[in-house]
Chain A
């Protein structure tokens, strides 16, 4: 399968780089370039590409606005030099992006992942919908996480616990584990505070999936989840749980 590609990028050298990279890959064929948001919308709707490289910051309309306004629904890989807010949010829905500067290797790696996903049988909501949900500020009800190059819908209710692993978090549902490139602090801001409780610097648990809570020592608690996982709280974490029990 050959992917038909459109590049939306305002900086000439960055545009050239992408075109060069695309030409090197057998299964990609470039079908158009746009330098700004307005022409990008026309171009995408006209040539109906399979995949669009979309710069987040563009003169005129931003990449996110372009996505909102196109009728065609291609796969999207965002390119951005630095956009903390968007890039962080993209992780919630496993939205693909390339961080500048990127060379050929990183380009191919990202693209291979996108292609495997496109050729798999996953039925996932359109990127536009997922981007809007990721960038929204409401509590997450459902998110798309990546597992073995597939996007898997994960309902927030089905998350048992979340554990910090440096810059990443491990999301544990009943049986599966997902790695997401987000800090626990950022992740926590989008969780339902009624259900999810930070019990430790590196642990958030879903109170709905707790099977028992016992004292660990005079100031800390020992929490057992329904999948058998055990978490010892910090002292501050114990207070946050006890506040819940007294309600």
Chain B
């Protein structure tokens, strides 16, 4: 019997704060009721009852109320605050309050009757005289309210704590994702080699060194600005100017191995696009087609509007090319970043097509919904 009871207690839905240490919760619960019972007995003694009798009454009441209280806790857990249906909540609470009151009064009287019968050897049925009954009902109702209030307070506190830790986790994940993007944008090889080239320029050609450092700073500023502001929509003109700075620095390293042709039409440059849409494609070509080849290669970048509302951007190189399978299984983050940006910004109104074959170069072609902003999105980027 006791085993069954303990098991049932174990299965009971505890207030969520208690689930981490159920034994502690029940200890506190027991201590609180013992204290309450002791207080009740003390009052009875003070009002002239014989001590034995007073303790007995206190004990009967506390045991009944504590057991009924477990039911209250379980119920409040199942009927969480805030309620989905207010009327239902009130009805349930009223009914359960009444049940708790009846259970504790009847239980107390039952225990008292049994105790008295056992002590006197004569069957006895105890009842509360009118004023005492009223006092007990009032006490039970008060206790019910305290119990329910306590359970709901714990519920809310736990929910707030969980929400806080969820927010913190999400924040951490986002920060890590941002850092990943940032690291991908600032490829360390590019970073340190560029610094090495600029260091060489400081001796050779101070003017060129200054220009390069400014371009380098612009590059960093754009990257940081886009990462800091959550609005990472820019005009294609801005992205293109970023790519031009990037290409100027790559040119510093690669010298005449990098040949560039660009044709970006004015109305195409007025479209807004997600930042870092073009640069990863350009970097991809440099990394796989131009830099590994001792004679270098040619990079062609074009952008134009076609039809009513389609923006077409092509980034093509005449490098060694590859197979589409190899592109799909590549570990690099460049194309992945572009695809993710396309998906989140355009949904199904933008796509990236790759045309390549071993020995036949590599063409990345973006076909996007031409989003011509009615106001300057530059303003959105300002802090």
Contacts and interface: CB of A to CB of B under 8 A. Distances in A.
Interface stretch (A95-103, A145-153, A167-175): A95-103
Interface string B233-272: 0000000000000000000111100000000000000000
A14 B294 contact: no
Given A17-B199, A20-B203, A57 B192 contact: no
B88 interface: no
A35 B253 contact: no
A12 interface: yes
A81 B191 CA distance: 8
Contacts of B189: 57, 81-82
B192 A81 contact: yes
Nearest to B190: A81
B8 interface: no
A60 B197 contact: no
A102 B192 CA distance: 10
Interface residues of B, number: 22
A6 to B, nearest CB: 17
B35 interface: no
Interface residues of A, number: 21
Contacts of A99: 192
Interface in B183-198: 188-189, 191-193, 195-198
Contacts of B201: 13
A122 to B, nearest CB: 31
B213 interface: no
A206 interface: no
A59 interface: yes
Contact of A81 (B188, B198, B254): B188
A101 B192 contact: yes
A188 interface: no
B293 interface: yes
Contacts of A10: 294
B200 A60 contact: no
Interface of A: 10-14, 16-17, 20, 35-36, 38, 57, 59-60, 81-82, 99-103
5 contacts: A11-B253, A11-B255, A14-B197, A14-B200, A36-B294
Interface of B: 188-189, 191-193, 195-201, 203-204, 252-255, 291-294
